[in-house]
Amino acid sequence: MKPILLLVLCAWAPPAGAAAQTVSTTPVVSVIRVGERLDVFDPRVPGEAWWPFQIANKIHITTRERIIRQEILLKPGDPWDELKALESERNLRASGSFRWVKVMPVPRPDGGVDVLAKTQDSWTTIPNLSIGTEGGQNFFGYGIEENNLFGYNKAVSLLHSQNGPTVRNDLRYTDPRVLDSRLRLSTLLANTGHGDSMGADLARPFYALDTPYAYGTGWERFNDENTVYQSGLTHSQFLEYNQAAMISAGRRLGRSDTFAQRLEAGWLYSRNRFTSEAATLPGTLPVDRQLSGPTLGYSWILPHYVKETYIDRIERVEDYDLGNELSFLGGYAGTKLDSDRDRWIFNVTDQQGLSFGEGRFALAQIGTAGRVAGGDWENALLFTNLDLFWKSEQPWLNTWVAHLEGATVRRMDQDNQVILGGDTGLRGYKNDAFTGAKAVLANVENRFFIPGEYLHLVRLGGAAFFDSGAVVPEGSGLSFARFNSDVGIGLRAASTRSRSGGVLRVDLAYALDRGPGPSRWVVSIRAGQAFSIFNSATRRLRRPPTSRLDEVAPPAFPEPR
């Protein structure tokens, strides 16, 4: 972790006056050109001129040229900058509208360059029908999503889902470029049977490394039922009402071309109210909380992005930062500022990558988050993660993935739990099988891929895996006797034309240790990987907010717990 004071001084230091002037040989950008804008299927490719694919192309509206131009960070008159070209590619990929993107220089006879962007669209109109099971719990959903509305890269979705006994209806709208500006709008309207939930988030983010300023505001209100688990079964339930609002503004510090420092200030308001119901056990109803006060944040980014395939997805290009990312957001919530008591809040994360060659890298992360009141910790989390990805072509294309994480919480809120189970990394056990305040999780998985694209729609693969983890209450020690492990195999399928390029996972796992549930065999059929790159056991743990002003900000309204 770099000394922050030294970085700030270096960032503000003026260039040396005695530095010799040199003649730049960097070519200057003359024109921004958008070349090929391929539809979902390319008729020039053998097999993709089939009539169903032609109909799909006619139904689909190709992303409009000006939407692509908006994300090109280079402008006519700028010196050619490969890092900005790569950053433009990342922004276009992050939009989710493209199967592939390329931003490249084209030399001109006068010594300058044109910037040429080429893209191929992905299929973004998705009739949603999902039926599956994970950790002994069935889920069902239907609806429709359009993630590139009329070719303008705006998204709207209407979804109905039932996960176990929980029924939810969601209407969401996202506009990353409101009226062609840099403003990003996200909205949510949902109903769970326990009340309506809604929210809106509007921000002008740090959309590039050298963006000079950012600002944003958001508001949300949630009504839902919260469940506390023990041994995979419902232990207690209560109703929760949450209302939160946050406003913030940020400024870049210094003018370095290789790293970015940002300072952020804002105001946070958060109110949690809990109401008992018939299933609420005595002594399990959380205490109401209310926080209000100023926040201050700092971030340091030393980027070293790499483009990889066959890591978390199949075929689709993914961007990973192997540089250093440090972020802090803290604040004071006092009784004189409309809080229920005087508190300090904090959220700190440092992430570092390490390359071992093409397709082989590690990501490490450490962090802490929580509150301090009256000299005591409140819901204070300390966590660490380490992920290793090792791609090989022997004896066939495959990727080894090793994941290790640890977490501990001091004086955890009663509405929170650290959880391991079928849906949080231990595939051989029921969902919510093991709960507590300390956790360790280890996963080793070999993901192998079958050559070829089937029907020009799908790529296939498989996996063999081993999972092991343990969760204990606060004050208890972790020992090998507390670990529960499983082994298994699985099939993988990924749509090559869909927006996300995500993986459909079918796993068969066998529990090596006795856990909750009648059987040691567990079948999971679910979209997405079985464990998160960061924080599987604590992904449902509520913690103080992070910045929503970053290039790739966390979802404005995350999925329900």
Q: Are 406 and 384 in contact (CB under 8 A)?
A: yes
pLDDT at 252: 96
How far is 353 from 367, CA to CA, in rounded Å? 15
Task: Count Cα neighbours of 540 within 13 Å in the Cβ-side half-sphere.
Answer: 22
Token pair, residue 50, equals 């089939």
Q: Would you list the DSSP string of 126-143?
A: EEEEEEEEETTEEEEEEE
Separation between Cα atoms, residue 505 and residue 508, nearest integer Å: 10
Assess contact for 124 and 147: CB atoms under 8 A.
yes
Q: Are 42 and 48 in contact (CB under 8 A)?
A: yes
Give me the pLDDT at residue 118, please: 96
CB-CB neighbours of 165 under 10 Å: 10
Asked if 318 contacts 311 with a C-beta cutoff of 8 angstroms, the reply is yes
Across the 561 residues of the chain, what is the mean pLDDT of every consecutive 10-residue run?
38 40 73 94 93 94 95 94 94 92 95 95 86 76 92 94 84 94 95 88 94 96 89 89 96 90 97 93 94 97 94 92 96 96 97 96 98 95 98 93 97 94 94 94 97 94 97 89 96 91 92 89 92 92 86 59 50
Class level of CATH domain 125-527: mainly beta
pLDDT at 21: 41
DSSP letter, residue 498: B
The pLDDT score that the predictor gives to residue 163 is: 80
pLDDT at 13: 40
Output the pTM of the full model: 0.88
Q: Which residues pair with 357 in a beta bridge?
A: 360
Residue 101: other Cβ atoms inside 10 A: 21
Q: Write the DSSP string, 328-374.
A: EEEEEE-GGGT-SS-EEEEEEEEEEEEEEETTEEEEEEEEEEEEEET
Q: Are 293 and 332 in contact (CB under 8 A)?
A: yes
SS3 372: strand
27-121 to CATH, choices 3.10.20.310, 3.40.50.300, 2.160.10.10, 1.10.8.60: 3.10.20.310
Phi-psi domain of 317 (left: phi exceeds 0; alpha: psi -120 through 50; beta: other): beta
Both structure tokens of 352: 């570092």
Dihedral over alpha carbons 140, 146, 147, 148 (to 10 degrees): 170
Interacting residues of 225 by C-beta distance below 8 A, sequence separation 6+:
166, 192, 194, 237, 238, 239, 240, 277
Token representation of residue 349:
């994360």
Domain boundaries, the chain: 27-121, 125-527
Length of the chain (residues): 561
Q: Which residue do the tokens 């913030």 mark?
A: 248
- Assess contact for 114 and 33: CB atoms under 8 A: yes
Residues 6+ positions from 64 with CB-CB distance below 8 Å: 151, 152
Quote the pLDDT of residue 560: 53
According to DSSP, the β-strands at 438-449 and 458-472 are antiparallel
CA distance 79 to 133: 53
